[in-house]
Amino acid sequence: MFSFGTSCVSKIICVLAIFALAHGWTGRPCFGKLETSLPHLHGRTSLRMSQDSPDSGESFLVKRKDFIKTAAGGVLVAVVGKSIGDGPEYRKKPDLSDKNVVITGGNTGLGKETAIRLAGLGANVVITCRRPDTIEAAIEDIKKASKSNKVSAMTLDLASMASIASFAKEVKSALPKIDILVNNAGVMAIPERKTTAEGFEYQLGVNHLGHFYLTSLLLDKIRKAKAGARIVNVSSEAHRFVKEVNFDDLMAEKEYAPWTAYGQSKLSNILFTKELQKRLNQAGDSITCTACHPGGVRTELGRYLDIPVWAYPLLVPLVYFTKSVKMGAQTQVFLSAEQSLTPQNSGGLYYDNCKAKDPTAGAKDMEAAAKLWKVSEEYLGKKFSV
């Protein structure tokens, strides 16, 4: 299923060792606030969530055994995503000075790096932030790094349909057209089941339904762009964690497992991409819709992991296996900026390391894609007409 590089043996040993420790531990509870990403570790028993995390300050009871299992899942994501080295860097410099770009979750991590790259190519970039108090700092960082003043930010909470509708109205009034939409924001492996404002399971609600609804509201502005408009959905190799969409328990009300729910949301991203491209093609549009895997990247996406001091040595290998944010953003930058991509040669495809990659059979099931579209409309109570 997976393709490993020359260091595959050490990677496998690392994963097996962590699983062995998990199953051999008695499971003493540890308390702590939710975690940020591995590169931000400090010498404390547990760490505060990042400022822009959805539930800053919320605490969970996490057993040591459960934590190590979750950590093993994180290492597995890194192993799957890590090819030889960090993957290719997109070095072309197309002129994007006439392009308007919208990037969800653009104040941190992959979204921020993507904003820096696209703004540096001349694009007018609008990023979204969940918390208004993070906006100014993010804008200044992006402007400084990109050497461009064509950067702005708006508030968007993908866990709220009202916030999505409000943002869509605001950005549509500000931009005459949208050339590139990067559906980048997401959450990963939330330890306990929680729901969005509308009662959707949080990972599916934010990662899939939120972007599904947002895209439906912005499509008319995307259509106003010239030929070459793009919709990029950030998915993950974690879609391989599930064989198919569990329509019988889509909201994980019967049984919740953090990595299963995450995998299902990422599988949904790919199915949405394929069904959207099919409908765009049938409508005669020239919009190219793609999905991508950034790789195992050192970002704040892992903010829900509670990492006590004793666990640091177990996670040291994770740093080796993961990509830098700069390298992790390369594929979504490529899909946004590369001029040779068209609906005919790239539409509906799944990319990894700037190349098309074959996803699972479940991610190519067009009957499931059509069903997911219909079910998504039913949950939202909104039609997405293409």
Enumerate the active-site residues.
262
**How far from 141 is each of 115, 119, 156, 372, CA to CA, in Å?**
10, 12, 19, 38
Angle value at C-alpha 157, between 338 and 364, nearest 5 degrees: 50
Q: What residues contact residue 241 under an 8 Å CB cut-off, 6+ apart?
A: 259, 260, 262, 263, 266
The answer to whether the CB of 233 falls within 8 A of the CB of 331 is no
Q: What are phi and psi of 255, to 5 degrees?
A: -150, 130
Residue 16: in which H helix or E strand, if any? helix 8-24
Strand 100-103 to strand 151-155: parallel, antiparallel, or no bridges (unpaired)? Answer: unpaired
Q: Across the beta sheet with 180-183, what order do the strands follow? A: 151-155, 124-129, 100-103, 180-183, 230-234, 288-293, 350-352, 355-356
* Residue at token pair 């328990």: 249
* Residue 5: Cβ-neighbour burial (10 angstroms; 0-12, 13-18, 19+): exposed
* Residue 339: Cβ-neighbour burial (10 angstroms; 0-12, 13-18, 19+): exposed
* Distance from C-alpha of 328 to C-alpha of 186, rounded to nearest angstrom: 15
DSSP assignment string, 200-226: -BHHHIIIIIIHHHHHHHHHHHHHTS-
